[in-house]
């Protein structure tokens, strides 16, 4: 049965998010072409509208277009994830005040549920929330509205592609639904992967309208319940609810490519230790603990000497204590190190994650409640201080040696919103 038209779901996403964050904190970049580079300043992963207009392509290696970017006076910046994460948190906190429920879908996207007013017109609400976000964050958002998630995703695409939409489109209130759905190619529908897209096109299904009207039994036979839900949502039924509580992660991984290849054991150990500290913080922030810790390292995939190795340690008692985790990671680093190879990437995985509120202790390694509480309080204090001041206000000594392996970030902007030392100053 089709849902009531009283409730709606909107997909809200920030336009050109990484570039917009950079332009917002640096007025000199506004109305100027900007590109953001991936880790180690490798490839272009984000562009401002001005850079798009110059036909600069996503995924292009920086070294291939460096001269062209210089000639076009394009601003080139390294990825500043600290800045993007902080602006994202501010964006989501603002959205929470203007909807019933919210599901944070990615760093720059969120599904929200909203009750329609008596006249069912949500355009005034969408315009006000766009103004609010721009006024507070300097970020432009697009609002796609529909009866469910799939149709909200489609509405969001239409809001971006239709000039007169002014960044807002309500698919449930249009009289030309068939024409709009026909304009959405099958590979652009949320939930349709490459294999599914190829199969549908082999059946002559080329767009959202044709998928909506396709024979139901044929979809179920090939795609099962997932395909049936997708078709039902295209028809206006709601099958996918707003997920307010994130599902617990199965594992947490922290890994990075090195700015300079590693050949020394002490450098590899330090890099893995830095990753382990970050992974431990992530676990605690999500009330998780690990009972299986894995480390890995590998050479460059472009190297003539191909080498990769991993090692892991199964724990009797799950933990989120950085001190315990670091001790294990340091030991494991010796197992994967080989002096004959140059390592280009290494990482740490926290596996077999469980809720930290429930701890099944072992008789062999039993810890008293006093010791457990002391450890938890120490970790909590460190996390609070780092959150209040900066990520490295308190850290472990192993991270303080010179890090020759750190990623290249030659064009990194200031972290003006998260580091008090980098707040802009006004001179008389």
In angstroms, rounded to a whole number, what is the distance separating the alpha carbons of residues 180 and 178?
Answer: 5
CATH code of the domain in which 292 resides: 3.30.1490.100
In angstroms, rounded to a whole number, what is the distance separating the alpha carbons of residues 141 and 118?
Answer: 25
Residue 300 included in any domain: yes
Q: Are 347 and 253 in contact (CB under 8 A)?
A: yes
Name the pLDDT band for 349 (thresholds 50, 70, 90): very high
Residue 168 included in any domain: no
Residue 378 included in any domain: yes
**Which of 130-134, 316-320, 388-392 is predicted least confidently?**
388-392
**Which residue did the predictor score with more confidence, 167 or 408?**
167
**Which residue did the predictor score with more confidence, 321 or 246?**
321
- 4-28 core/surface letters (b: 16 or more CB in 10 A; e: else): eeeebbbbbbbebbbbbbbbbbbee
**Residue whose structure tokens are 């100053």:** 425
Q: Which residues make Cβ contacts (< 8 Å) with residue 388, sequence separation at least 6?
A: none
In angstroms, rounded to a whole number, what is the distance separating the alpha carbons of residues 21 and 347?
Answer: 28
In this prediction the pTM is 0.80
What pLDDT, on a 0 to 100 scale, did the predictor assign at position 4? Answer: 43
The total domain count for the chain is 1
**Which of 40-54, 90-104, 128-142, 365-379 is predicted least confidently?**
365-379
Residue 391 included in any domain: yes
pLDDT exceeds 80 at position 321: yes
pLDDT exceeds 60 at position 382: yes
Name the pLDDT band for 427 (thresholds 50, 70, 90): low
Bridge partners (DSSP) listed for residue 247 = none
Residue 89 included in any domain: no
What pLDDT, on a 0 to 100 scale, did the predictor assign at position 3? Answer: 43
**Which residue did the predictor score with more confidence, 214 or 362?**
214
> Cα-flanking dihedrals φ and ψ of residue 229, to 5°?
-60, -40
Q: What is the pLDDT of residues 397-408, one digit of tens each?
A: 988 877 777 777
Q: What is the pLDDT of residues 170-209, one digit of tens each?
A: 999 998 999 999 999 999 999 999 999 999 999 999 999 9
For the record, the structure tokens of 407 come out as 């990623």
Residue 341 included in any domain: yes
Reference 280, options 258, 257, 252, 256; nearest CA is 252
In angstroms, rounded to a whole number, what is the distance separating the alpha carbons of residues 360 and 172?
Answer: 51
For the record, the structure tokens of 54 come out as 């110059």
Number of other residues whose CB lies within 10 A of the CB of residue 329: 26
Name the pLDDT band for 245 (thresholds 50, 70, 90): confident
Say which DSSP state 207 is in: B
Phi-psi region of 156 (alpha: psi -120 to 50; beta: other; left: phi over 0): alpha
The helix-helix angle for 369-388 and 265-285 (nearest 10°) equals 100
Name the pLDDT band for 368 (thresholds 50, 70, 90): low
Bridge partners (DSSP) listed for residue 103 = 111
Reference 402, options 274, 253, 255, 254; nearest CA is 274
Overall average pLDDT of the 102-112 stretch = 95
Say which DSSP state 61 is in: B
Say which DSSP state 121 is in: -
Q: Are 275 and 403 in contact (CB under 8 A)?
A: no
**Which residue did the predictor score with more confidence, 163 or 190?**
190
Which secondary-structure segment (H or E) carries 405?
none
Share of the chain above pLDDT 70, in %: 94
- Sequence-ordered strand ranges (E) for 184-339: 252-262, 288-298, 308-319
For the record, the structure tokens of 97 come out as 């005040």
Overall average pLDDT of the 146-166 stretch = 94
Bridge partners (DSSP) listed for residue 354 = 289
Strand 44-47 to 34-37 pairing: antiparallel
Q: Are 188 and 156 in contact (CB under 8 A)?
A: no
User: Structural domain of residue 381, as residue ranges?
Assistant: 252-399
Q: Are 98 and 115 in contact (CB under 8 A)?
A: no
pLDDT exceeds 90 at position 147: yes
pLDDT exceeds 80 at position 360: no
Which secondary-structure segment (H or E) carries 49?
helix 49-53
Residue 304 included in any domain: yes
Name the pLDDT band for 367 (thresholds 50, 70, 90): low
Average pLDDT over the chain reads 90
What pLDDT, on a 0 to 100 scale, did the predictor assign at position 394? Answer: 85
For the record, the structure tokens of 386 come out as 């780092």
In angstroms, rounded to a whole number, what is the distance separating the alpha carbons of residues 27 and 49?
Answer: 16
Name the pLDDT band for 391 (thresholds 50, 70, 90): low
Reference 312, options 295, 333, 297; nearest CA is 295
pLDDT exceeds 50 at position 290: yes
Name the pLDDT band for 359 (thresholds 50, 70, 90): low
Overall average pLDDT of the 307-331 stretch = 94
Question: Three-state DSSP class for 336?
Answer: helix
> Cα-flanking dihedrals φ and ψ of residue 279, to 5°?
-65, -40
Name the pLDDT band for 104 (thresholds 50, 70, 90): very high
The helix-helix angle for 322-336 and 369-388 (nearest 10°) equals 80
pLDDT exceeds 50 at position 1: no
Q: What is the pLDDT of residues 55-85, one digit of tens each?
A: 999 999 999 999 999 999 999 999 998 899 9
């Amino acid at each position: 049965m089709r849902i009531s038209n009283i409730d709606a779901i909107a997909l809200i996403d920030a336009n050109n998010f990484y570039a917009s964050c950079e332009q917002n904190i640096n007025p000199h970049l506004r109305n100027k072409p900007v590109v953001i580079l991936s880790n180690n300043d490798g490839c272009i992963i984000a562009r401002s509208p001005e850079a798009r207009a110059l036909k600069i392509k996503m995924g292009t290696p920086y070294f291939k277009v460096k001269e062209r970017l210089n000639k076009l006076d394009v601003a080139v910046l390294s990825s500043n994830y600290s800045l993007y994460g902080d602006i994202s948190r501010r964006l989501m906190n603002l959205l929470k005040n203007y909807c019933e429920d919210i599901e944070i879908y990615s760093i720059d996207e969120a599904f929200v549920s909203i009750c329609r007013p008596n006249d069912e017109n949500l355009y005034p609400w969408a315009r006000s929330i766009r103004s609010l976000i721009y006024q507070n964050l300097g970020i432009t958002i697009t609002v796609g509205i529909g009866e469910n998630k799939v149709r909200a995703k489609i509405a969001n695409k239409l809001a971006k592609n239709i000039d007169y939409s002014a960044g807002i489109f309500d698919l449930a209130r249009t009289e030309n639904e068939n024409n709009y759905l026909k304009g959405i190619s099958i590979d652009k529908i949320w939930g349709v992967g490459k294999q599914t897209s190829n199969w549908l096109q082999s059946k002559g299904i080329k767009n959202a309208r044709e998928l909506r009207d396709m024979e139901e039994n044929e979809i179920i036979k090939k795609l099962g319940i997932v395909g049936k839900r997708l078709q039902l949502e295209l028809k206006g039924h709601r099958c996918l609810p707003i997920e307010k509580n994130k599902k617990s992660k199965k594992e947490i991984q922290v890994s990075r490519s090195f700015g300079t290849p590693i050949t020394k054991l002490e450098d590899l150990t330090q890099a893995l230790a830095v990753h382990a500290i970050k992974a431990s913080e992530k676990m605690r922030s999500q009330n998780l603990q690990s009972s299986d810790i894995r480390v890995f390292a590998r050479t460059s995939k472009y190297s003539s000497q191909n080498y990769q190795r991993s090692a892991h340690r199964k724990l009797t008692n799950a933990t989120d204590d950085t001190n315990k985790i670091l001790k294990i990671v340091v030991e494991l680093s010796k197992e994967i190190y080989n002096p004959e190879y140059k390592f280009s990437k290494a990482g740490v995985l926290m596996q077999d994650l469980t809720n930290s509120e429930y701890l099944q202790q072992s008789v062999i390694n039993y810890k008293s409640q006093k010791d457990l509480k002391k450890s938890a309080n120490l970790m909590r204090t460190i996390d609070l201080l780092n959150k209040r001041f900066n990520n490295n206000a308190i850290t472990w000594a192993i991270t303080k040696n010179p890090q020759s392996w750190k990623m290249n970030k030659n064009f990194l902007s200031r972290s003006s919103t998260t580091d008090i030392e980098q707040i802009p100053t006004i001179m008389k």
